[in-house]
């Protein structure tokens, strides 16, 4: 491998934690009413989707009701 001839100073690594820029970033633009309303409606839609998935999914995952129904249907059919 190649070796450097001059030593590499590592003082900049130690000072990196303390370095603060004197340039402030520009302020973020405020969200308009339509953006806030759109974000709120999007969040409510996602939450409603999760609730709907739980409402429709929980009966399908219920292990108590399915075997009993299948046994009754099988015994009535024969």
* Ranges of each domain in the chain: 31-63
- What pLDDT is recorded for position 58? 86
Q: Tell me the pLDDT of the chain (78 aa) as tens digits.
A: 566 566 656 655 555 555 567 788 889 999 999 999 999 999 999 999 999 999 988 887 777 755 555 555 556 655
pTM for the full model?
Answer: 0.48
CA dist., res. 40 & res. 59, Å (int): 30
Element (H, E) at 41: helix 33-61
> Which pLDDT value is given to residue 59?
81
According to the model, what pLDDT value does residue 52 have? 94
Structure tokens belonging to residue 16:
């990196």
């Amino acid at each position: 491998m190649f070796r450097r001839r001059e030593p590499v100073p590592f003082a900049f690594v130690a000072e990196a934690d303390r370095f603060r820029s004197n340039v402030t970033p520009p302020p973020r633009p405020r969200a308009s009413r339509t953006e806030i309303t759109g974000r709120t409606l999007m969040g409510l839609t996602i939450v409603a989707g999760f609730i709907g998935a739980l409402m429709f999914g929980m009966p399908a995952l219920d292990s108590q009701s399915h075997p009993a129904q299948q046994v009754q249907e099988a015994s009535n059919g024969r």
